[in-house]
Amino acid sequence: MNSSSVQVQLESLAKLQEIDRQVDHLQKKKSDLPTAIKELDQKLEALTLDEAKKSAEKTEVEKLFKQTQAAIEINQDRMNRAAQRLEQMENQTTFMAANKEVEQLKKLASDLDVQKAAHLAQQYALNMACKEIEEKKSALLSERQATLEKFSEEEGVLNQDIQQLQAGRNGFIAQVDRGTLARYDRIRSARAGLGIVPAAQGRCMGCNVLIPPQMYNQLHRSQEVMSCPSCARILFIPKIQ
Ligand SMILES: [Zn+2]
């Protein structure tokens, strides 16, 4: 044991732990910061996928539009020729047949016009959807930039706080045996952030298990660093201030 008494060591460890827990809390806050950015990235990714899908649909509709337009032109050509033939008809039977063909071509022309209008409406809807996606993306990108700036600012503040706390640890570390400190660090990382816990009313306040009475008496004498037989945390009897 070094010059510090066991009681001083235990009290120093308890204070050290308070600092360590504050540092843990700040580190947790720090690691939570990028979550907002991750969420924004996910949204952006989804929008980009949507954009690609809409763009593919647009290409498809444009292709259909061109096909319909070509069909309209061919049909118009056929109608013109049929109308010319109709004028030259002398025979009633051939006239009837040619007239029927003209009627069929007219019907087809009207169907094709409906089809073309539908394609135009689809194109319009897709253009609007793409514009909307673009606006959303642009808003998200600005939000991402702002979040990133805020993030680095907050991270800077947290880093400063952590540094200050860690500087404060040194005074307490000097009071504790290296072996005890290593024991504390080991238990703390294995036991949810608590390496040293108070004992009160015969129990370990870390796991709430009863401490054997003889050990509890020894704890009060503070002659050696003792651990809870159940959870292995270092035990100390808090002094009434
Ligand atoms: Zn315990």
The string of pLDDT tens digits covering residues 10-47 is: 999 999 999 999 999 999 999 988 888 999 999 999 99
* Distance between Cα 162 and ligand 1 center (Å): 29
Question: Has residue 213 got a pLDDT over 90?
Answer: yes
Q: Residues 21, 24, 30, CA angle at the centre, nearest 5°?
A: 150
Confidence at residue 96, expressed as pLDDT on a 0 to 100 scale: 84
Is the separation of the CB atoms in 78 and 109 below 8 Å?
no
* Distance between Cα 177 and ligand 1 center (Å): 21
* Distance between Cα 123 and ligand 1 center (Å): 70
> What are 152-189's pLDDT values in tens digits?
999 999 999 999 999 999 889 999 999 999 999 999 99
Confidence at residue 95, expressed as pLDDT on a 0 to 100 scale: 82
Please give the C-alpha separations between residue 113 and each of 59, 66, 119, 120, 128, in angstroms, as whole numbers.
Answer: 20, 13, 10, 10, 23
Confidence at residue 229, expressed as pLDDT on a 0 to 100 scale: 95
Confidence at residue 25, expressed as pLDDT on a 0 to 100 scale: 94
* Distance between Cα 15 and ligand 1 center (Å): 19
199 versus 95: the higher-pLDDT residue is 199
CB neighbours (10 Å) of residue 194?
Answer: 19
Output phi, psi for 192, to 5 deg.
Answer: 45, 45
Q: Six-digit token pair at 165?
A: 């706390």
* Distance between Cα 236 and ligand 1 center (Å): 11
CA distance 13 to 66: 80
* Distance between Cα 195 and ligand 1 center (Å): 10
Q: Six-digit token pair at 186?
A: 């080991």
Q: Residues 197, 168, 177, CA angle at the centre, nearest 5°?
A: 55
**Under 8 Å CB-to-CB from 219, ≥6 apart: which residues?**
199, 211, 226, 235, 236, 237
Is the separation of the CB atoms in 237 and 220 below 8 Å?
yes
With pLDDT > 90 as the criterion, what percentage of the chain qualifies? 78
CA distance 188 to 122: 63
pLDDT class for 4, splitting at 50, 70, 90?
A: low
* Distance between Cα 3 and ligand 1 center (Å): 28
Q: Six-digit token pair at 140?
A: 């998200």
**Under 8 Å CB-to-CB from 200, ≥6 apart: which residues?**
237, 238
> What are 82-125's pLDDT values in tens digits?
888 888 877 888 788 888 888 999 999 999 999 999 999 999 99
Confidence at residue 241, expressed as pLDDT on a 0 to 100 scale: 55
* Distance between Cα 202 and ligand 1 center (Å): 11
